[in-house]
Amino acid sequence: MVLAACLVGLLSVGFALAAEWAIAYHSSLLAGRPWLGLVLSPLGFAAIAWITLRFFPFAAGSGIPQSIAASLSTDGRLRRTLLSIPLALGKIVLTALGLLCGASIGREGPTVQVASSLMYALAGKRKRRRLASSQALIVAGGGAGVAAAFNTPLGGILFAIEEMSHRRAFQANGTLLTAVIFSGIVSLLLLGNYTYFGRTDLAMGLADGGKVVLTMGLACGVLGSLYARALIALSHHGFPGRAGQWARRHPVGLAALCGLATAVLGLLTGGDTYGTGYQQVKSALEGEGVLPWYFFLAKMAAITLAFVSRIPGGMFAPALAVGAGLGSLLSAAFPGQAPNVFLVLGMVGFLCAMTQTPITAFVIVMEMTANHEMLLPLMTTSLIAFAVSRTLVRTPLYHALARDALRAASEHLKRQKQARGAAPEA
């Protein structure tokens, strides 16, 4: 298991470097010739969608729902359909290609699927001597993946317990700690003790900022939960009418159209909607830039296009960018407060509303910004957003998508079984 955890850390670091290179290379390609995106994104989205459908159908999308679905199942064949080493390698390559083509995706969700695949495939082989159940290994792999992706060990542990396990009992604390510690050690050795969004010195007391916290919690709660509902509806039902029929018959063509729309958005926003949104948010937090008022809307549209196209890629980091954009817009209503405060509160509130993981959300953002002075405002904003989201959305986003993944994997196995049964007659 220690070897598997170290490999998780190694692959997570390699994945991070590949993603950064892909984003930087995409920017260099479009420097001085932004029109090139109108060619690169449609062709890239179409190629990635075709490869995914042909060779890695269960690498599509985030990767967190697939990991949750595998942890819910007791069927070994179904788990191997959703989690495997070939699938993990394909996920890394295809996500990096998506970023190279300008898709608004993140590597955090894919890292969870990669890490869960490694833990399940390597640490779960020796059934008689394994230290934990298959479910515990998958959950621990997911936590280790988040910890290594963001350099947020506490966030990784809480993600495994709160998101991966949800309301089920989770008792393999030693397995989780071992996975997070050793994957984190590898990440520290290779990348150093970095902070994802740099170090901030923001502070706001609840007595002075009560209205700010309440406003941010309610606004992020409503927007995040409605957006989650929209994504769930798209996953369950797709587009209505003839548009839906066409999309189901021509998934590669749909991906190409999504790529074209992504390029148009990028062209209209000066490239702000490409990639994860990390650089734009980091610059705004450090006071070196300002997020335009339309940033959160444009970013949501770009995330939706990547989601609909079914190319591999996560929503975790882009969701943080949406929250930061919303916070930047609302900061104009409170001129007495530092604008950067709203960015941090927006990230926490929107992420919590989308995922319904209040503890994970504020701990991850706190670790990302290395700021403990904002602990109480972050906690309160997260709690308000969570309460609003629970009222408006019955099933959390990733768990609703996990049900779809379970159903798709079960149907895939049935078709394989029917094909084997029909083979002798043919």
**Residue 347: band (very low, low, confident or very high) from pLDDT cuts 50, 70, 90:** very high
**Once rounded to an integer, what is the mean pLDDT over residues 154-182?**
72
Q: Are 6 and 123 in contact (CB under 8 A)?
A: no
Query: Residue 291: is its pLDDT beyond 50?
Result: yes
Which pTM does this prediction carry? 0.90
d(CA 86, CA 108): 18
Query: Residue 320: is its pLDDT beyond 90?
Result: yes
Mean pLDDT across the chain: 86
**Residue 426: band (very low, low, confident or very high) from pLDDT cuts 50, 70, 90:** very low
Residue 57 is given by DSSP the state G
**Residue 130: band (very low, low, confident or very high) from pLDDT cuts 50, 70, 90:** low
**Residue 22: band (very low, low, confident or very high) from pLDDT cuts 50, 70, 90:** very high
Three-class SS state of 210: helix
- Write the secondary structure of 310-358 as one string of H (helix), E (strand) and C (coil): CCECECHHHHHHHHHHHHHHHHHHCCCCCHHHHHHHHHHHHHHHHHCCH
Please state the CATH superfamily assignment of the domain spanning residues 2-191 in this structure. Answer: Clc chloride channel (1.10.3080.10)
CA-based nearest residue to 120, from 69, 161, 163: 69
d(CA 284, CA 53): 38
Three-point CA angle 274, 300, 11, nearest 5°? 55
**Residue 48: band (very low, low, confident or very high) from pLDDT cuts 50, 70, 90:** very high
Amino acid of residue 270? G
Query: Residue 154: is its pLDDT beyond 60?
Result: yes
Give the model confidence (pLDDT) of 95-107 as tens digits: 999 999 999 999 8
**Once rounded to an integer, what is the mean pLDDT over residues 332-353?**
89
**Residue 43: band (very low, low, confident or very high) from pLDDT cuts 50, 70, 90:** very high
**Once rounded to an integer, what is the mean pLDDT over residues 389-406?**
92
Question: Which of 85-99, 317-331, 402-416 shows the lowest mean pLDDT across its residues?
Answer: 402-416
Q: What is the pLDDT of residue 7?
A: 81
Amino acid of residue 292? P
Residue count of the chain: 426
Query: Check: CATH 1.10.3080.10 for 206-404?
Result: yes
Query: Residue 192: is its pLDDT beyond 80?
Result: no
**Once rounded to an integer, what is the mean pLDDT over residues 191-214?**
71
Q: What is the pLDDT of residue 423?
A: 56
Query: Residue 425: is its pLDDT beyond 50?
Result: no
Q: Are 95 and 110 in contact (CB under 8 A)?
A: yes
Query: Residue 27: is its pLDDT beyond 60?
Result: yes
Query: Residue 229: is its pLDDT beyond 70?
Result: yes
The domain ranges of the chain are 2-191, 206-404
Q: What is the pLDDT of residue 172?
A: 53
Partners of 250 in the beta sheet?
A: none
Query: Residue 124: is its pLDDT beyond 60?
Result: no
Three-class SS state of 400: helix
d(CA 100, CA 330): 32
Higher pLDDT, 206 or 400: 400
